[in-house]
Amino acid sequence: MNKIRTLMFFLGLGLAIAFTVQIHQYTGSFVLLSIAALAMLTVRFPQSQISKETEALLSYPGKETEPGKIISDKAYTYYGDELGFSDQQVTVALKKHFPYYTKLQEPDREKFINRLFDFMEDKVFRIHDRQPFREMPILISASAIQLSFGLKEYLFPHFSHIHVYPDAFMRVEPALCLLEGNVTGHTINISWKHFLEGYEAPSDGVNVGLHEMAHALYYQLFLSEQPEEARFRDRFLQFAQPANLAFDREKNTPGGLYSDYANKNFQEFWAESAELFFEKPRELMSTYPALYESLKVLLNQDPLSS
């Protein structure tokens, strides 16, 4: 099936190019640019190597009896306070797919689940697919709880909606591009495929769930005027000192610990720091000890102690 799709894609692209050349003679470069943009919309990311269990989650058929409201033939809206999941359903999902939870001791597991329910009940989940299933709100909420587990405030109330897409999705403004996740307005947007891959390989330093929740945490706590958020802002400024030194070093050191994308700006560097803190803590501590210590204080937890 993938070979057929690939063949059809290149065939369609070839026809588009031929059509463009023919029309360009009459209508100019505007048509050329328009058709090129249309061709970009058909580009798909290559399939990644994931386990059969995770692959099953990508093709779960869903159930009409699950709570939720169909808003179109390709999108569902789930209100978190109406999901009605049992503790057992949540626990089973976490034990199968969330390594952070399995490392917690029993008292912390109870705290984690209680916080997860609070977070889910505070959100509206919009699934842009014909195949929604219970692990979507559970696991995406769990990524937010993982990041904020050491903090007193963990609901991210500024963000009322979480949109879940089956794969990378298109952003039109400010520039046309494909995204694995982003945060905008009062919404957190996640590619489910890339989210699952992040937890499928929990030590590769790439986790779109943690990455986007780090962005959300930053905006949430810097937009709020609550005392606890003010304390977080103070700690973030302390984190920023060693982080800026590391940021400058990474920009001038090819093949460093961080990706090229993290060197784009300090916001992306912060989000990737959160990924590395949980997924490559030893490498981060060894390379940037002051940065690692400041993250321990900022997030009030230490992955190396678990």
Residues 50 and 198 in one domain: yes
Same domain membership, residue 99 and residue 28: no
Residues 260 and 211 reside in one and the same domain: no
Q: Are residues 97 and 216 in the same domain?
A: yes
Find the mean pLDDT for residues 281-296: 97
pLDDT range class, residue 285, cuts 50, 70, 90: very high
51 plus 169 within the same structural domain: yes
pLDDT of residue 134: 84
Is 292:270 a contact under the CB 8 Å cutoff? no
Which of 229, 237, 226, 147 lies closest to 183 in space, CA to CA? 147
> Which of 224, 245, 278 is where one domain is finished?
224
303 lies in the same domain as 254 = yes
Indicate if 31 and 61 belong to the same structural domain: no
Whether the predicted pLDDT of 254 surpasses 60: yes
The mean per-residue pLDDT over the stretch 16-24 comes to 44
Q: Kindly report the pTM of this predicted structure.
A: 0.77
Number of structural domains (the chain) is 3
Q: What is the mean pLDDT of residues 109-138?
A: 94
pLDDT at 19 over 60: no
Note the Cα 105 to chain centre separation in Å: 26
Identify the weakest region by mean pLDDT among 27-41, 155-169, 187-201: 27-41
User: What per-residue confidence (pLDDT) applies to 70?
Assistant: 39
51 and 27 within one domain = no
Q: How far apart are CA 181 and CA 268, in angstroms?
A: 12
Helix, strand, coil percent values for the chain (each to nearest 5): 60, 10, 30
Assess contact for 192 and 54: CB atoms under 8 A: no
Q: Which long-range contacts (CB under 8 A, 24 or more apart) does 97-105 make?
A: 97/54, 97/57, 97/135, 97/139, 97/196, 97/199, 98/139, 98/142, 98/146, 98/199, 99/199, 99/202, 100/142, 100/146, 100/202, 100/278, 101/142, 103/306, 104/306
Task: Taking residues 252-267, report their average pLDDT.
Answer: 92
Q: Which of 275, 122, 120, 268 is nearest to 194 (CA)?
A: 275
pLDDT at 30 over 60: no
User: At residue 23, does pLDDT exceed 80?
Assistant: no
For residues 203 and 106, membership in a common domain is answered with yes
Look up the domain containing 239 and give its range: 225-306
Structure confidence at residue 226 (pLDDT): 64
Q: Are residues 17 and 85 in the same domain?
A: no
Q: Do residue 205 and residue 274 come from a single domain? A: no
pLDDT digits (tens, 9 = 90+) for 46-67: 333 445 554 445 433 332 323 3
Beta carbons of 214 and 277 less than 8 angstroms apart: no
- Domain termination residue (choose one: 204, 224, 244): 224
Contacts of 41 (CB under 8 A, 6+ apart): 170
Q: Is-contact 78 124, C-beta < 8 A?
A: yes
- The answer to whether residues 50 and 89 belong to one domain is yes
What is the distance between the alpha carbons of residues 296 and 290, in angstroms, rounded to a whole number?
Answer: 10
